[in-house]
Structure 1
């Protein structure tokens, strides 16, 4: 799995961090997504998929 984020699309809702905090974080100054691991371990795959599905801005892309 390869994960990418589009910080321009991100609206800082924080759903990604709530669902996959080991893979995503947010900038302190504006809450925009920070990708911590573009190739997360398999045990986080379901959480990352859920975070991408819940993103209101559709700013998370996943390549399987």
Structure 2
């Protein structure tokens, strides 16, 4: 199961980071606030992916 989930999670994080970058450009978020935006979104997506993995693992 981890063989499929880890590469998929990496791809999801990469795509979410691209979308976050587009959001920062579109909304003209200042350069000094962008790292906080990226960090927050990455942490939330990582929590979501880990909880999804645990749910799939135990069901």
The answer, yes or no, to whether TM exceeds 0.5 is no
Q: TM-score, normalised by structure 1?
A: 0.30
Q: Where is the helix percentage greater, Structure 1 or Structure 2?
A: 2
Report the TM-score, using the length of structure 2 for normalisation: 0.32
Larger radius of gyration: 2
Q: Which has the higher strand share?
A: 1
